Amino acid sequence: MKSFLTITFFFLSYSSFADAGRSYRFNLELVSKNGNTLNGYFYHHSYDKYDKDIDYDERFIKFINKDSIAIYSFITTKNIGSLTLDFTANNYKKNIDLNNYQRIRINDYLDSKIMYRLIELTKEEFTLIEDNNPKIEFVYNEKVAENCNYVLLSWKLDSELLSHKKEISDKMVLFSKNTHKNQYDFYKYLNLKKERLFEDSILLIDHCTAL
C-alpha cells in the first residue's frame, strides 16, 4: 500500500480539482518479439474514448500515450459499500516496456466511472482478503479532502471497526486545524495505526473519487 505520507499529500492536492475523464481496466494479451505471451490487467485514465475496433497493437500504445506500463497478473473484485474496487498485491505487478512487444490484444475491457479503482496491497495485506465481502467503515472529513475517504476493512466477523473509526476521525479533526503543521505527525500516527490494525486482521486503505 502507498505510504501514508504520500496519501496525505495526495489527499490535499487531489481534493483541489475536479477530474472528468474515463477510467479503463484492460485485460491484455501481449506477445513479445521473442514469441512469449504475457497476460494481465492494465489500468488507464484518459480524456479520450477507447475504440475496441482499432485501438490495438501500435494504435493502443498511441491511445495510452505510454511506452512503459504496469500490468497485474491477478486481481480480485470486492463491493465496498457503493463502490466496486479491484484489489491486488505488489507481487502480482510487472513493469514492462511495450517496445519489446509486437502484438497487443485486448481480451476485454471495463469503462468505469470509478476513479482509482485498483487498490494495490502488500503480499501480507492481501492474505487478509477472503471470498466474501468485508465489514466496512468509511472515515471522512471534508476539511481534509472533500472527495476522499479512509476505509476500514475486515473479513473477521468479530472485528470492531467503530472504535477505530472514531479514533481516526478525531485525529483528522486535529489534523484539519493546521494541515501543513500537523502533516508529519498525522503521517506517523497513520503508519503506526495501520500496523496495529493489520495485527488485528483489519486493513486501512484510502480512496478518492472525482468531484
For 135-155, write each residue's pLDDT tens digit. 999 999 887 777 789 999 999
Q: pLDDT for 84-106, tens place per residue?
A: 999 999 999 999 999 999 999 99
CA distances to 87, 114, 115, 116, 203 from 84, in Å: 10, 8, 11, 11, 16
| Exposure of 114 in the CB half-sphere (CA atoms within 13 A) | 17
Which residue would you say has higher pLDDT here, 18 or 56? 56
Phi, psi (deg, nearest 5) at residue 171: -65, -35
With a cut of 70, say whether residue 4 has pLDDT above it: no
With a cut of 50, say whether residue 17 has pLDDT above it: no
Confidence of residue 10 (pLDDT cuts 50, 70, 90): very low
pLDDT value of position 13: 46
Q: pLDDT for 73-86, tens place per residue?
A: 999 999 998 889 99
**Beta carbons of 122 and 1 less than 8 angstroms apart:** yes
Q: In the chain, where are the structural domains located?
A: 4-17+123-208, 22-114
Q: What is the pTM of this model?
A: 0.86
pLDDT value of position 198: 97
Of the candidates 109, 122, 102, 104, the one whose C-alpha atom is nearest the C-alpha of residue 3 is 122
Mean pLDDT, rounded, for 54-72:
96
Mean pLDDT, rounded, for 10-35:
75
pLDDT value of position 211: 62
Q: pLDDT for 184-198, tens place per residue?
A: 898 899 999 999 999
pLDDT value of position 141: 84
What number of other Cβ atoms are within 10 A of residue 193's Cβ? Answer: 18
Q: Grid coordinates in use for 3?
A: 505510504
pLDDT value of position 169: 94
pLDDT value of position 5: 45
